[in-house]
Structures are given as C-alpha cells and as structure tokens.
A and B are shown apart, each in its own frame.
Chain A
Amino acid sequence: MANIDIRQVRKSYGKDEVIHGVDLTVNIGEFVVILGPSGCGKSTLLRMIAGLEDISGGEISIAGTVVNDLEPRQRGCAMVFQNYGLYPHMTVAENIGYALKVAGMKKPERLEKVRAVAKSVGLEEFMDRKPGQLSGGQRQRVAMARAIIREPKVFLFDEPLSNLDAKLRVQMRHEIRRIHNRIKATSVFVTHDQHEGMTLADRMVIMNKGTIDQVGTPEEVYNRPATVYVAGFIGSPAMNFLSGQISAEQSVILLADDSRIEIASDAARRHAGALVQLGLRPEDMTLCAPGAGHLTGSFDFYEELGSSGLYHLMIEDVPFTVLSSIKPRFQHGDQVGVLADLSKLHVFGAKDGVRIDMDEQVIRQMEPAE
C-alpha cells in the first residue's frame, strides 16, 4: 500500500512534448481514474508510473521513493493491460503464478496461493486452460488475478475493459470496484469512457492534450467543471454551450439571440466586456411554451431514450439539446421554449475556457428574447 507523487512530469518523443508538466498525488488506498480522449497522454502517464516508459522530466515517487530510474520490477506496481497481455503458452494457473515463480516462491506454496486468488475471481474451474480457450471476460479475470496475487503497492489499469462488450463491461466494472473495496490497494485506472470513470473513481483526473484540466470527485467534476473542455467531456448527453458577452453597464450576459441574464453588478464589473461561454446540461432544463421560458429554439429532431427523450433544437444556428421525461410531440421547425434551472448554469471565459465563478444568487434571471 503506497501513495504516488507525480511532480512536474514531462514526456517528449524527440522534439514533440506529449505531457507538459503534470502534478498529481494519489493517496493511499485511493482509486483514481484518469479520463481523457485518445491521444491526451493518459496511457503514457500510466506507463511512466509503471516504468514501461522513460520519464523525460520531473519526478515520480511511490511510497516516498523516487522511481524515475528504477526498473518496472523494482517499483512494486501491478498492471492490467488493455489486451490483457496473457502469456498464450501458459495455463491460467501458470499465468497467475508467474510473478511468484519469478520471485522464487516454492511450488506448493505458490500453487496454494494461485488457487486462493483464482477462487476469489471465480476462475477455479479453468486453471488448466490456455488463454486462447477462454472468453473475453474470463481473460480479463485472469489478468486481474495475475495483478492481485502479487499484493502490489499500486494497481495500474490501462483501459482494461475496452475490449469487452457493453454488458460484460458493466459487470467487470462492478467486479473491479468490489475487489478494490476488499483489498483497498492504491489504484490508477486509465479510460476514455466517462461512465467507467464516474462509477469507479474516488477522484477523477481529466486530461486534455498532455495537461491536467481538473482533479476532483466525480460529483465535483460533474457539478463544477473547471474548464469548457471538462464541461463538454463529462456528462452524457453532452452539455450545451451558447456564446455571450458580459455587459458591465446593465449587469447582464448578452446572448447571440438577444436573450440576457442578469448578474450581480460586482461580478459584471470584474469581468466587464468579457466574451463567455454559457454551459447548460440537457438534464437541467425543461420544455415549455415558446416565450414562457428563458430561451426559444426551433425543433429539429427527437431521440427516444426509454425513460426520457432527447429533444434536439436549434437556437440561432447553434444545436441545443434538452432532456425531458414528459414527451410532447413536435413537428420539425416548431418553436419551443426552454426553461433552465439557473442554479446549474456554468459560465466559462470564451478565450481561456476557464470557469468564471458566479454565486448561485448572482445569476438572477434570464430574460427571453423579445
């Protein structure tokens, strides 16, 4: 059991820097999920922790020891790979016990341990099979067992569920969480799937083009996204954005369609003239008669989601979605009003994309366009 300290870590391939000075602390027993799209550097960061990738700058320490120059085997991490990385010529039992064999553990002792771990992940019937004779979920379990048996200081997961079908993925996700709750090992889990991130994480790390945009609990990241990028990445269906400008004289944010939101005069003064992006989640709005809400758009099309429906509107050429559990019918081109929960409005600077904090009281009212 150990904490991980990442300080100003950089990675470059030749002249291309792919990770630009990242700082992160993972506490003992914590389950941290690094989330980001492909190419954001999340797997590279994980592989640098594991020792499979050189660290170009900065320091990584595990349990207080700087590991920059240590071989993977000296770092005490176990890793679960995306394609499992099982040895095809070894049986399930041999795969699980390989680390112990390398470590020089005696055979009877080793076999007993392998059996115990295999049982804990439900593999005891498959001990003599080769990986080629297993299903995807079973292979995933072997990979987990292989990591668990080493009793590592740190667990690393490199998109371990992305090769499974949707149903199995959810099931394995629960299993991983259950295992974590049992053994409480410090874990770093890399994924591009926000559902995996939200459900598994104690804390989430959102990466974007080689930097960390936000670190926080899933609730924090969802309720108070630090940047436009995080706001757009987290949440499904995705958040809507409208451009506007802060006007100090009138203490309002002006939108492109001439709707306006009154804000407190001190907030307006602080950011006078700033171009901003307003963020509204589809689930934080309801549909109403045109003119009765805060915004008005023309109906484009409808997506049925079962428990609710997703309404696609156009507001001044900007696509806009509203989630609604009551499902009124519209024709294409119908005018539809949108009533927003103003306490859940997000404001970001248009230029730097950084969140502009307005107290919930600050945003008073959104006036519909005339």
Chain B
Amino acid sequence: MRRAYFKNNWIAALVVAPQLLIIFVFFYWPTSQALYWAFTFEQPWGGGNEWAGFENFRAILTDGRYWDSIKISIIYAAGATVLSMGMALILAVFADRQLRGYKYYRIGAIWPYAVAAPAVGLAFRFIFNSSAGIMSYVNAAFPGFWDPILNGDHALLMVIIAGAWKQVAYNFIFFLAGLQSIPRSLIEAGAMDGATVLRRMRDIQLPLLAPTFFFVLVINITDSFTDSFGIVDTMTGGGPARATNLMVYKIYVDGFQGLDYSGAAAQSIILMFLVIALTVIQFRYIERKVHYT
C-alpha cells in the first residue's frame, strides 16, 4: 500500500491534535484519575487523599458481593452474546438468500442499532412487565410464571434479552457483509456437488464466515461488559436483591450512590484490565486459527 507522508510535522500535529485531545480528555485523564483514586482513599467531599496501596483492591476482592457481580456479568456476557449472535446469524443467513423483500428486512434489522440503550430498556420494561405487558397474559394463564420484580433469574433473563436485542442489529450488519463477500460460485459449486441449502450453510458459508464471527464475538463480549449500564439502569436498577448488579453498574452504585470513590475506581481498573485481557487473549490465540488464504 502507498503511504502519504507529511513533510511538515507541524501540520501533521495540528491535524491529529483534536483526536488526541478527545482521547486524552475522555480516556487518559479519567483513567489516570481512577488509577490515582484506586490506590488512595478519596474523600467523598474532597480534601486530602491518603495513600492506600492495594488496600482498595484487597477490600473488593475479598467482598463476596463483588464476586457475585463478576459471576452475573459473565452470565450476562455469555447469554447476551450467544443470543444476539445467534439471532443475527439467522437473520443474516435469510437476508443473504435474497428472498422476496429482503431489502426491507435488511433495513428493518439494522434499525434497532440506532435506538439508545435506555430507550431499549424502557421498551422492554413494558414488554416484560409482569402485570401490564404481554407477559401479564401468560401470568393470567399460569400464575407466577413470570415475575422479574421479585425473581432475580427472571430479571437477569430480561436484561439479557434486552441487551441482546440491541446488539442484534450490529452483528447482523457484519454477518450479512461477511456472507455477501463469499463468492457466489462457491455456493453454486456446493449446489452442484449435491449439498442442500442447510448443508451448504454448515460446510461452506459458516466456516468462511469464521473471521467475521470472531471479530463480532470479541466486540460483543467486551461490549456486554462495558455497555450494559443503560439497560440495567432503566430496567432493574441492579435488583432485585442485586440479581442484575453487573460490574459496570456496581461501579456506578458504589461510586455515585455509596460515595465510595476509591472502591469504585479500583473496580473500574479491574474491569478495564479484564476487558484488555479478554481482547488480547482472543486476538492472540483464537484469531490465528480462522484465516484462510
């Protein structure tokens, strides 16, 4: 590939400056602040910080509730990722078959990505409301079947479905693009070789979709750890009895409601390293196995 070079470094610096400024203000500055708070005792009302070393981390990691939160977050990440990728894959496979009207389905399937997380949460709160939404009809037939306000498992399932629904659109775009980049002659060769539609999907399309699949997997997992706040906040507020208290929501609750800035800061540092570690592991060890040339 050809590269363009700026002869004048000042122009280059000037062009890059706005982006660097944004990254600095919204990433490095808060991160360094969080790092500072995590290793000190930060006063809720301001004032002198006291050096704490690893005391904040020790307190969190010995707290059973934090481990509960981690467990819930992993369940949420796995559930939402599997559900949304599964749904997106099915939709993309059908859109790729170019059945009648697929262009409209395609637009329809992309649309949800434009909806903000709190709006999604609000909409699903109505849908899954045990006494007012469609689930109330099910409850009328089978009393006590669905109660996310009292039953923690139901609440978590509800949050997972809402989170997955929001992510479906994003995954769909990538899956569809991935499927459409598979040369038609391969599918046709499969048809000539005697493979049925389902067999062709299994033996040809899905294996060739693997690089896309991997990329989407990484994005989904990291996203479900960091981007689930809006849905939890509008739907359950972390309840009932902390059953949906995901790591990212616990940071907010501990920090801004409990005013434990140092504890919350330490949690965000842990979350950050968790996400970094996940990404590195996935890219280094999994990605290698899914490339074809």
Residues in A lying within 8 Å of B, measured CB to CB: 50-52, 71-73, 77-79, 81-89, 98-99, 102-103, 130, 132, 146, 150
A sample of 17 more A-B contacts (CB under 8 A), given A51-B191, A132-B293, A150-B194, is A50-B192, A52-B188, A52-B192, A72-B192, A73-B192, A79-B188, A79-B192, A82-B185, A85-B183, A85-B188, A87-B203, A87-B204, A88-B208, A89-B207, A89-B210, A146-B189, A150-B193
Contact with A along B68-82 (1 / 0, CB 8 A): 000000000000000
List of 6 A-B pairs having minimum Cβ-Cβ separation, nearest first: A85-B189, A85-B185, A73-B194, A99-B193, A132-B293, A72-B191
Could you tell me if B183 and A130 are in contact, using CB atoms closer than 8 angstroms?
no
B residues in contact with A71, CB < 8 Å:
191
Question: A105–B292 Cα gap in the complex (Å)?
Answer: 27
Question: A72–B188 Cα gap in the complex (Å)?
Answer: 9
Within 8 A of A (CB), among B162-207: 183, 185-186, 188-196, 199, 203-204, 207
Residues in B lying within 8 Å of A, measured CB to CB: 183, 185-186, 188-196, 199, 203-204, 207-208, 210, 292-293
Could you tell me if A81 and B188 are in contact, using CB atoms closer than 8 angstroms?
yes
Q: Chain B: interface secondary structure?
A: helix
Question: A98–B199 Cα gap in the complex (Å)?
Answer: 11
A residues in contact with B191, CB < 8 Å:
51-52, 71-73
Question: A79–B195 Cα gap in the complex (Å)?
Answer: 14
**Min C-beta distance of A232 to chain B, whole Å:** 32
A-B contact count (CB 8 A): 67
Could you tell me if A132 and B193 are in contact, using CB atoms closer than 8 angstroms?
no
**Min C-beta distance of A139 to chain B, whole Å:** 12
Could you tell me if B192 and A78 are in contact, using CB atoms closer than 8 angstroms?
yes
Question: A248–B196 Cα gap in the complex (Å)?
Answer: 66
Which residue on A lies nearest to B195, using beta carbons? A102
Could you tell me if B292 and A130 are in contact, using CB atoms closer than 8 angstroms?
yes
B residues in contact with A130, CB < 8 Å:
292-293
A residues in contact with B210, CB < 8 Å:
89
Could you tell me if A132 and B292 are in contact, using CB atoms closer than 8 angstroms?
yes
Could you tell me if A77 and B192 are in contact, using CB atoms closer than 8 angstroms?
yes
Could you tell me if A99 and B194 are in contact, using CB atoms closer than 8 angstroms?
yes
Question: A77–B183 Cα gap in the complex (Å)?
Answer: 21
Could you tell me if B185 and A89 are in contact, using CB atoms closer than 8 angstroms?
no
Could you tell me if A89 and B292 are in contact, using CB atoms closer than 8 angstroms?
yes
19 A-B pairs (CB sep. < 8 Å): A50-B192, A72-B188, A73-B194, A73-B195, A82-B185, A85-B185, A89-B208, A89-B292, A98-B190, A98-B193, A98-B203, A99-B193, A99-B194, A103-B194, A130-B292, A132-B292, A146-B189, A150-B193, A150-B194
Question: A130–B190 Cα gap in the complex (Å)?
Answer: 17
**Min C-beta distance of A258 to chain B, whole Å:** 56
User: Which of B185, B196, B292 meets A73, CB within 8 Å?
Assistant: B196
Could you tell me if A102 and B199 are in contact, using CB atoms closer than 8 angstroms?
yes
Contact status of A83 and B183, CB under 8 A, knowing A73-B195, A99-B194, A103-B194: yes
**Min C-beta distance of A36 to chain B, whole Å:** 20
Which residue on B lies nearest to A72, using beta carbons? B191
Which residue on B lies nearest to A88, using beta carbons? B292
